[in-house]
Structure 1
Amino acid sequence: MAPRFMALGPDGLVFVADRALDQVLALPDRDGDGQADEVIIVARGLYVPTSLAFRNGELYVGETAGVTRLTLHPRHRHAKEETPVITDLPPVGRHYTRTVLFGPDGRLYVSIGSSCNVCRESDPHRAAVWVYPPDGGSGEPFTVGLRNAVGLAVNPWTQTIWATNNGRDFMGDDRPPDTVYELAAGADAGWPRCHAGTIPDPDFGRQPDACQGVLQPVLTLPAHVAPLGLAFYPRDASGPAAFPADMQGDLFIALHGSWNRSTLVGYKVVRVPLDDSGRPEGPPEDFAIGFLQPDGRVLGRPVGLLVLPDGSMLVSDDRAGFIYRISRE
């Protein structure tokens, strides 16, 4: 199993996309002990499913070439109907995950990564977040110039969509930084000509105005840490497993970890303190570590984050094949 992003069903049931076996799973915890009692196969035979989102009790699955809506059996949780919603996403390429999210406006947002490390794309879907009517149909670019925006989440205090973005490779160990963006309609984050708002690309950004007018990130992270899932922890969490008060209202980010850096970085979950308006007010701090051992052994790679009603947080790991539960207990 390679668990990627997770979603909470209307009745509190946890669902997860399993990229390795092309399936969606449900993980009931009937006795409330913080461990799944069984693994239910909701749907199988999907095309590299990596993300999930619920709307009106139906489950939307982000797959490499599109988005599928699953109508679930009310008792058995199996998908009794699968309906293609979006069918024209690029089916191959360097970045093949697709992240789905329903925004505050009720529309369906889908992130599509670039086909390459750095290049000029011919398919306008690439390196962008697109927006669609909730049941599919004709979409349009929402924010472009994002090399690989994997994580999407709604900031509950600004009611805007934030996205993690993985920067280009082969500019050295420390450039360009990975980033988090607050998406905006019609904005351009600059890729491939500009990185992280201020760094011209050595191949595609030789013009003097390469970074002029590009969307600026709300947060920069060390190069190559590969930020994926992000979650805004609620400010009023009061469940038995709720995090301490000084962690509530903050942003948590899963760093999948580097692959082409001389010294490995990432491989952890970090916490970003936010101010009362929901903006970063301090640098990222380590929250969950141990995926990367001091001797360089990699035990896991965190991917998705999900805050549960009891205040605990789930962290998926697509290398070790686990989902961890972190609580105050």
Structure 2
Amino acid sequence: MDFLARATAVVGGTMVAIRRFGAPKVQAVGTAPTIPDAKRQGIMTLKMPTAKGWAPGHVPDTAPGLGVNAFASGLEHPRWIEVLPNGDVLVAESKEQPNPPKTLMDHAAQATMRRARAIGTSANRITLWRDTDGDGVAETREVFLERQNQPFGMALVGDTFYVGNTDGIVAFPYQEGQTTITAAGRRLVTFKPNGHWTRSLIVSPDGTSLYAGVGSLSNIGDQGMEAEEGRAAIWRLDLETEQAGIFASGLRNAVGMAWEPSTGTLWTVVNERDGLGDETPPDYLTSVREGGFYGWPYCYWGQTVDDRVPQDPALVARAITPDYALGGHTASLGLCWMPAGTLPGFPDGMVIGQHGSWNRSTLSGYRVVFVPFEGGKPSGPPRDILSGFLSDDEKTAYGRPVGVAIGADRKSLLVADDVGDIIWRVTAA
């Protein structure tokens, strides 16, 4: 099977070369993107750089006026960041644990993902990092919580700490300043694992509800919609009654979430479907309405029908067009609101960690971008905050950005890099 996987990967590489000739030259970005017509790929485009990491002294490129340093190093696939009120920084260290491959394409895809360090044995822990002297580098590391099931999202409400494991939300008792949780957790919500496995969490501004992103099992409902029940959605958990249900649906893989403070609106970044072209459809940033349906798997970017999928005309008719396109297959995962003045030269807006593509002829993402906001809405083109995670020939990834969070000093941005195994800290130069 290893030989067959390699052979399939060679075929996939040939398809990459062929598809480059007809690939769009402009990314589908912004509030009114130009999205190319869908082209069924048959054999999926399969292209991902080899994970290398950062050599000593090599750091990401920054926007003018910014500097970057390693806040924490030596992690094991850091994915998500939560900054506690006392300044402690929690990092979820976890990795996709794939099911046994069933097809030749599965073998090829998993071989590619392993080369990129995207799948394998998961650390299944949350570590705590503390910068005791305020110099922007963590001096102490503690294992805050271990033996979890692919932990990702984290949230603290009062004296309860919540973890988004791939199979559900678990609550733990917490006391301010503690560096390790040893008490048993209590399962509040159960989710189906596997597929898009990350479970991001965010607390409502009033502290009464917890929202969780639950991605789809498959690309376009490939195993039937019964298997997708409860997935491709954002859930809401009432923290008083502990009742949970779907808040919005049709979101193929909603990961990072953030609140826009002037309107109190929830926003998310969503990874769209594969197999229709380099820019078709684009990943996106969107506000999220209660009860809203965003198209997956039947359609995309409003009512553009995906004819690979058995249709539901009633759902297509009410599909909401997203607010802002982020380019095809950028794997936009991290999201946080950044107030004006946090970093010099940046107004109010959203920061997005783009993990980077694996399924297009010319790679996209592999950067941290900023989308400015005015009046509660995106108001201009994206700007790079960090780049340089990818070699010029697209063969090597020094890092891949994922989670983003504002530092405790409110004058810095923290970025999880799961290939570099680093938490980067971005500040004024």
* TM-score between both structures, scaled by the size of structure 1: 0.92
Give 1:273 shift.
1.3
Q: Is the 8 A contact 1:52 1:99 kept in 2?
A: yes
Partner of 2:376: 278
Q: Is the 8 A contact 2:159 2:175 kept in 1?
A: no
Partner of 2:357: 258
2:95 is the counterpart of 1:95: no
Q: Is the 8 A contact 2:293 2:315 kept in 1?
A: no
Partner of 1:3: 78
Please point out which of 386, 391, 412 is paired with 1:293: 391
Match of 1:214, SS state, is coil
Partners of 1:2 and 1:140 lie apart in 2 by: 30
Partners of 1:321 and 1:81 lie apart in 2 by: 28
Please point out which of 116, 121, 141 is paired with 2:225: 121
Partner of 2:128: 26
Q: Is the 8 A contact 1:306 1:314 kept in 2?
A: yes
Partners of 1:108 and 1:206 lie apart in 2 by: 32
Distance 1:89 1:273, change over 3 A: same
Match of 1:264, SS state, is coil
Partners of 1:307 and 1:89 lie apart in 2 by: 28
Q: Structure 2: any 5+ residue segments left out of the alignment?
A: 1-75, 95-121
Partners of 1:136 and 1:77 lie apart in 2 by: 29
Match of 1:47, SS state, is coil
Q: Which moved more, 1:204-213 or 1:295-304?
A: 204-213
Aligned length: 321
Partner of 1:201: 306
2:417 is the counterpart of 1:317: yes
Q: Is the 8 A contact 1:25 1:39 kept in 2?
A: yes
Give 1:87 shift.
4.1
Kindly indicate which of the two structures has a greater share of residues assigned to helix. 2
- When the two chains are superposed, the root-mean-square deviation of aligned CA atoms in Å is 1.8
2:119 is the counterpart of 1:17: no
Give 1:79 shift.
0.6
Aligned AA for 1:312? S
Q: Which runs of 4+ in 1 moved over 6 A?
A: 207-210
Distance 1:323 1:196, change over 3 A: same
Q: Which has the higher contact order (CA 8 A, sep 6+)?
A: 2
Give 1:209 shift.
6.8
Deviations 1:184-228 (A, max 9, x none): 111100100111224211212667777422122111111100110
- Equivalence map 1:40-59=2 (5 Å): 40-59=142-161
Partner of 2:257: 152
Q: Is the 8 A contact 1:10 1:57 kept in 2?
A: no
Match of 1:10, SS state, is coil
Aligned AA for 1:154? W
Give 1:74 shift.
4.4
- Equivalence map 1:40-189=2 (5 Å): 40-72=142-174, 74-92=176-194, 94-105=195-206, 106-119=208-221, 120-122=224-226, 123-134=228-239, 137-189=242-294
Give 1:136 shift.
7.0
Deviations 1:135-186 (A, max 9, x none): 6733111000000001111111221111110000001111001111211111
Q: Which moved more, 1:3-12 or 1:37-46?
A: 3-12
* Higher Rg: 2
Give 1:316 shift.
0.2
Partner of 2:139: 37
Percent identity at matched positions?
A: 35
Aligned AA for 2:171? R
Partners of 1:62 and 1:206 lie apart in 2 by: 32
Partners of 1:135 and 1:208 lie apart in 2 by: 37
Q: Is the 8 A contact 2:169 2:190 kept in 1?
A: no
Distance 1:34 1:126, change over 3 A: same
Aligned AA for 1:247? F
Partners of 1:266 and 1:325 lie apart in 2 by: 19
Q: Structure 1: any 5+ residue segments left out of the alignment?
A: none
Q: Is the 8 A contact 1:192 1:205 kept in 2?
A: no
Partners of 1:210 and 1:129 lie apart in 2 by: 17
Partners of 2:216 and 2:333 lie apart in 1 by: 15
Partner of 1:249: 348
